[in-house]
Structure 1
Amino acid sequence: MNTTASVPDGEAFALVCREYGDPPDIQRQALEPSAPLEADEVLIDVHCAAFNFTDHLLVQGRYQERPPTPFVPGLDAAGVVRSVGPRATRFKPGDKVISSGVVGAWSTRLVAPEHRLVPVPARVGLADAVGSINSHLTAYHGLLDRARLQAGERVLVLGANGAVGKACVQIAGHAGAEVYTAARGDGDTFRLARQDGDHGPTVPAGELKQGLRELLGRQGADVVVDPVGDRFTEAAVRNLAWRGRLLVVGFAAGDIPHIPTNLLLLKGCGILGVYCGGLLIQETDAFTRQLAAMLELMGSGVLTASPQELVSAHDFQQAWSRFSSAPRGTKVVLSFA
């Protein structure tokens, strides 16, 4: 994507949610000239913004927060610095940056506090960066912050064919871990494998516990990454090593699991929640540092970008349709450039 292009002032617009719904009433609205920046603020020419699952729920009125309408949705944006406030020293006009958690991202212009912005490495495209935040930062935060993964430890990734799972496999391998995967197969099955090329069997979901036992042996896994949930979580916990850690990432399979606590006692293991939204709210500086570190891994080639589909922000109805019909694991990204 061309990082020098920007929308002329007379054509600047935001996508405004006027009414919640399925689909919501979202219309383009021309932007007024930008007000003078506060001391530490940065004005960004937004080139693209993520259409996240959170955004999808929010504009339907199904999220826990319901901003009064009208409002500009969007939490993740990537673009180029247009101007900076008098005390903003980390960035200059022309720099590629990304913001996450700054409300109002679905707009050709975004004002953000300087400390909430992260530089985008030269080798990382803006659409790739913004389309990979949710999956890749979750993987980074979960494995390297919450689990404190060490070289030589054994990591089992459930749902390894999803966006979070793929990122976890790459990060765990980079950290020097032994990586094992359980990917959803055709029907109600899991494909089990070792990432060193030793492929295991495909097992019915009801036999996942035994399949993992054969894959991992009696030693088990030091860390289990679980974005799947449902009844599959207990099968993974039963294959944790002594002092193992279960990373609770999500519940893609449906139900929230109930883990017998005697298993935790007998294995001396722990359950760790992985929630980047909470990290953003509770530890904003840590969130920003980890986002920057994750992007550096993308820039160095350790992490490959999540699949994403660029849709013009001028045609929100197409974006709305593609959110549900795009291939699984593909992020819809709104293009404003």
Structure 2
Amino acid sequence: MTATPYALHCHEYGNPPLIDARPLPPDATPGPGEVLIEVACAAFNFTDYLMIQGRYQDKPALPFVPGLDAAGTVRAVGAGVASFAPGDKVISSGVVGAWSARLVAPAHRLVKIPGQVSAADAVASINSHLTAYHGLIDRAALQAGERVLVLGASGAVGQAAVQIALHRGAEVFTVARDGGLLQLAGPQGAALRVPPAELKQGLRELLGAPGADVVVDPVGDFHTEAAVRNLGWRGRLLVIGFAAGDIPKIPANLLLLKGATVMGVYCGGLLLRETAAFTSQLAAMLALIDAGVLTPSPHETLPAHRFDDIWARHADAPRGTKVLLGFTG
């Protein structure tokens, strides 16, 4: 199966789903505005995990080729495509059918992978690193000297947010789970370990009266209100996700008294509604990886035709490690 180019096909939704590898027909010809990519690797994202179980909001008709993010090399371009040429190393995001050795994608959805950044590093880092970039740079318009509080700082989004905030000259404060306690740390290395019930007071002690200018929140649950109570004047709360469980309810009076703003951070919406902004920010984020500012997200690559192994590893991989499907080598 590995000697012939192939794609994975989902024939039945489930846990696990029924997926097999099938040879591809002869090379597709990209149409106007399209690019044919020889895929090196594709990401197994949480969205993909839901989609192949039939649990996502969009349910493609069976059978279908899953996958949304892929990276590889341009093989051919269609009419009207001037920004890419055969041999370019590129990344595709949000194009269904990425779990395939070849992918035809719209040129306006592609970004060149810069310098020495590998295809695997690029595709593994889209979700976490672009979310952090979009939140801090686009939504919050972070400025040098501002104070940033990162919740869930040990996760992939949190780590990327810390690196971006430091690069922008911000003061960074973090919260991370440490067993049954929460580890709070400041820019001078000052640290507190507090029970979850004491997070609000712990943040008050850590941040002091000025509070935080920006809160990066991929965690939700009780963390959110505690962080909002420690926002400074004109503070911005970046709502990214709810990894801790419950979707929080924020008392509106806190926002009023602090002149605060709640900002949703949703790269999927950006991709669909502002595609040019999405690709521009993805290119800027990849440039930060190339410059050594951002550390690529940890990842493991398994041969794509061994989907049973990939499915099992997706469940067992260390937290924050992205599982990739390899189509070359």
Whether TM exceeds 0.5 here: the answer is: yes
Of 306, 310, 315, 2:301 maps to: 310
State the alpha-carbon separation in 2 of the partners of residues 212 and 67 from structure 1: 45
Of 25, 30, 40, 1:47 maps to: 40
State the alpha-carbon separation in 1 of the partners of residues 61 and 35 from structure 2: 25
Equivalent in the alignment of 2:276 = 285
Equivalent in the alignment of 1:190 = 182
Report deviation, 1:39: 2.0
Do residues 71 (structure 1) and 64 (structure 2) align? yes
Do residues 235 (structure 1) and 222 (structure 2) align? no
- Map 1:1-337 → 2, pairs under 5 A: 11-187=4-180, 189-194=181-186, 196-337=187-328
Report deviation, 1:265: 0.6
- Counterpart code for 2:63: P
Report deviation, 1:184: 1.1
Q: Is the 8 A contact 2:150 2:158 kept in 1?
A: yes
Report deviation, 1:84: 1.0
State the alpha-carbon separation in 2 of the partners of residues 79 and 297 from structure 1: 19
Report deviation, 1:86: 2.7
Report deviation, 1:311: 1.1
Secondary structure of the equivalent of 2:16?
Answer: coil
- Counterpart code for 1:43: L
- Counterpart code for 1:32: P
State the alpha-carbon separation in 2 of the partners of residues 138 and 63 from structure 1: 20
Measured against aligned partners, the alpha-carbon deviations of 1:225-264 in whole angstroms (never above 9, x if no partner) come to 0001001100000000010000000000000000110101
State the alpha-carbon separation in 2 of the partners of residues 269 and 204 from structure 1: 27
How many corresponding residue pairs? 328
State the alpha-carbon separation in 1 of the partners of residues 89 and 182 from structure 2: 40
More displaced stretch, 160-169 vs 116-125: 116-125
Q: Is the 8 A contact 2:10 2:17 kept in 1?
A: yes
State the alpha-carbon separation in 2 of the partners of residues 302 and 138 from structure 1: 16
Secondary structure of the equivalent of 2:87?
Answer: coil
TM-score, normalization by structure 1? 0.96
The alignment-based identity, stated in percent, is 67
What residue ranges of structure 1 are gaps of 5+ in the alignment? 1-6
Report deviation, 1:308: 0.5
State the alpha-carbon separation in 2 of the partners of residues 279 and 255 from structure 1: 25
Equivalent in the alignment of 1:4 = none
Runs of 4+ in structure 1 over 6 Å off: none
Report deviation, 1:335: 0.5
State the alpha-carbon separation in 1 of the partners of residues 190 and 121 from structure 2: 30
- Counterpart code for 1:215: L
Secondary structure of the equivalent of 1:272?
Answer: strand
State the alpha-carbon separation in 1 of the partners of residues 102 and 224 from structure 2: 43
Secondary structure of the equivalent of 1:289?
Answer: helix
State the alpha-carbon separation in 1 of the partners of residues 86 and 56 from structure 2: 35
Measured against aligned partners, the alpha-carbon deviations of 1:197-217 in whole angstroms (never above 9, x if no partner) come to 423111111100010001000
Report deviation, 1:35: 3.2
Q: Structure 1 197/309 Cα, relative in aligned 2: closer, same or farther at 3 Å? A: farther
TM-score, normalization by structure 2? 0.98
State the alpha-carbon separation in 2 of the partners of residues 287 and 37 from structure 1: 23
What residue ranges of structure 2 are gaps of 5+ in the alignment? none
- Counterpart code for 1:191: Q
Q: CA RMSD in A?
A: 1.1
State the alpha-carbon separation in 1 of the partners of residues 106 and 278 from structure 2: 14
